[in-house]
Amino acid sequence: MGKILVTGGAGYIGSHVVKLLNLKKKEIIIIDNLSTGKKKYVKNGIFFKGDIRNKSHLYKIFSNHKIKSVIHLAANCLVEESHNKIDEYYENNVVGTINLLDLMVKFKVENIIFSSSCSVYGYKSNKIKEDDNLNPINVYGETKKVCEELIQSYSKAYKFNYIILRYFNACGADLENNLGEDRENETHLIPLIFKSIQNNKPVNIFGKDYKTRDKTCVRDYIHVQDIARAHFKSLSFLRKNKKSFIFNLGTEKGLSVLDIINITSNVLNKKVRYKISNRRKGDPPYLVASSSKIKKKLNFTNKYSDPRLIIKTAWKWFQSIN
Ligand code: UDP
């Protein structure tokens, strides 16, 4: 049957993907350097602590296991941080991806699913389609764009297939409350709102001078289990069809920072204090997906991305780890 290599399988999204693959009885190999992921969230599969920048370590894994597909999630993924750690972002995201692609070619691996990001798009003001032009405005988005290009040219030259998934804003937690967001240095909006409630301190709104409905940034928030489901669906598709695609993974619904604060306050029946601070570097004002392509080609629709369910599951998880 062949095994699935999941890079970054100890991370927030990776751990949800691994959980689902295991439920579907897949054989899973995981590599994660545990820079942000945690070993305790790898509950299935064979785990290797390692770095995708270390090609000889990757080589050993590929030689010892018959890997049929790769799900490549390992990456540095923070917009603001990417400007302060340009070399690290390029090395980990781009060099790591080249190492993986080289080994896929060497070991004749047939499929790759790649975690890309809506950060590849840059400034947009309407629902974004996959064939809109790519014009990233932050280093993180640039690295993801380069990786997409690499995957496409390797695929053309070496005849393997890919599905590139451009995630919009991953959020929420496992409905069984076994997994969720758990980072040392949290920068994401929803967990930071929860922290502000817990500490009774205001959450920062990064900029209230954007050209959006309420002048705060608009994003498209998708539940992490829907993201995991899309990986499984993509994998099943690639195993049956020798075709490659790029898909957005979002909800088509734009929510501003203030919307998220209000929904949280409403769902939890708690007051959320906030203050307006400066814009954060690299933040596009508006990122909302068109989802019609993945619906049409993979017949994929979201199941868990109602914002109230996102907040409920994320809050339950937050309380269980804090
Ligand atoms: N944001 C904010 N305050 C925070 C964290 C985030 O106003 O403490 C904003 C951020 O500027 C962006 C949105 O919330 O517009 C989502 O940010 P997050 O870091 O969660 O995800 P990103 O969109 O950067 O992937």
Banded model confidence at residue 1, pLDDT cuts 50, 70, 90: low
Asked, for residue 181, whether it belongs to a domain, the answer is no
Mind listing the pLDDT tens digit for each residue in 173-218? 999 999 999 999 999 999 999 999 999 999 999 999 999 999 999 9
Rounded Cα gap, residues 305 and 113, in angstroms: 21
Domain CATH for 296:
3.90.25.10
Q: Are 46 and 61 in contact (CB under 8 A)?
A: no
Q: Based on the domain organization, do 241 and 294 belong to the same domain?
A: no
Q: Based on the domain organization, do 295 and 193 belong to the same domain?
A: yes
Asked, for residue 137, whether it belongs to a domain, the answer is yes
Q: Based on the domain organization, do 44 and 111 belong to the same domain?
A: yes
Q: Decide if 304 is catalytic.
A: no
DSSP for 151-202 reads HHHHHHHH--EEEEEEE-EEE---TTSS-----SS---HHHHHHHHHHHT-P
- Average confidence (pLDDT) over 216-234: 98
Ligand 1 atom at shortest distance from the alpha carbon of 206: 7
Domain count, the chain: 2
- Average confidence (pLDDT) over 79-99: 97
Bridge partners for 111 per DSSP: 69, 161
Asked, for residue 184, whether it belongs to a domain, the answer is no
Q: Domain end: 231, 249, 267, which one?
A: 249
List 12, 89, 121, 140, catalytic entry: 140
Q: Based on the domain organization, do 13 and 117 belong to the same domain?
A: yes
Q: Based on the domain organization, do 291 and 162 belong to the same domain?
A: no
Mind listing the pLDDT tens digit for each residue in 231-280? 999 999 999 998 999 999 999 999 999 999 999 999 999 999 999 999 99
Per-residue H/E/C for 210-235: CCCCCCCCEECEEEHHHHHHHHHHHH
**How crowded is the C-beta side of 117, counted as CA atoms within 13 Å?**
29
Which has the closest alpha carbon to 190: 222, 164, 215? Answer: 222
Q: Based on the domain organization, do 267 and 157 belong to the same domain?
A: no
Asked, for residue 106, whether it belongs to a domain, the answer is yes
Q: Based on the domain organization, do 259 and 122 belong to the same domain?
A: no
The pair of three-digit structure tokens given for residue 119, joined into one six-digit string: 């950060």
Rounded Cα gap, residues 279 and 40, in angstroms: 35
Q: How far apart are the CA of 222 and the centre of ligand 1, in A?
A: 14
What is the pTM for the complete model shown?
0.98
pLDDT of residue 3: 96
Mind listing the pLDDT tens digit for each residue in 26-84? 999 999 999 999 999 999 999 999 999 999 999 999 999 999 999 999 999 999 999 99
Rounded Cα gap, residues 69 and 132, in angstroms: 28
- Give me the domain span that covers residue 20: 3-171+223-249
Q: How far apart are the CA of 285 and the centre of ligand 1, in A?
A: 10
The more confidently predicted of residues 159 and 253 is 253
Asked, for residue 183, whether it belongs to a domain, the answer is no
Asked, for residue 177, whether it belongs to a domain, the answer is no
Q: Based on the domain organization, do 243 and 205 belong to the same domain?
A: no
Q: Based on the domain organization, do 9 and 141 belong to the same domain?
A: yes
Domain CATH for 94:
3.40.50.720
Which has the closest alpha carbon to 256: 175, 186, 189, 177? Answer: 189
Mutation to probe ligand 1, out of 188, 194, 205, 279 (largest number of atoms < 8 A from CB) = 188
pLDDT of residue 2: 83
pLDDT of residue 12: 98
Rounded Cα gap, residues 157 and 152, in angstroms: 9
192 lines ligand 1 (CB under 6 A): yes
Q: Based on the domain organization, do 51 and 166 belong to the same domain?
A: yes
Banded model confidence at residue 158, pLDDT cuts 50, 70, 90: very high
Q: What are phi and psi of 35, to 5 degrees?
A: -70, -35
- Average confidence (pLDDT) over 2-9: 96
Q: Based on the domain organization, do 10 and 139 belong to the same domain?
A: yes
316 lines ligand 1 (CB under 6 A): no
283 lines ligand 1 (CB under 6 A): yes
Q: Domain end: 211, 234, 249, which one?
A: 249
Mutation to probe ligand 1, out of 219, 221, 259 (largest number of atoms < 8 A from CB) = 219
Q: Domain end: 209, 232, 249, which one?
A: 249
Asked, for residue 180, whether it belongs to a domain, the answer is no
Asked, for residue 235, whether it belongs to a domain, the answer is yes
Rounded Cα gap, residues 77 and 312, in angstroms: 25
Q: What is the mean pLDDT of the chain?
A: 97
Q: Based on the domain organization, do 145 and 265 belong to the same domain?
A: no
User: Which alpha helices (DSSP H) does the chain contain, by range?
Assistant: 12-23, 55-64, 79-84, 86-89, 96-106, 139-158, 189-199, 224-240, 257-268, 292-298, 307-321
Mind listing the pLDDT tens digit for each residue in 272-320? 999 999 999 999 999 999 999 999 999 999 999 999 999 999 999 999 9
Rounded Cα gap, residues 230 and 301, in angstroms: 9
Neighbouring C-beta atoms of residue 179, cutoff 10 Å? 22
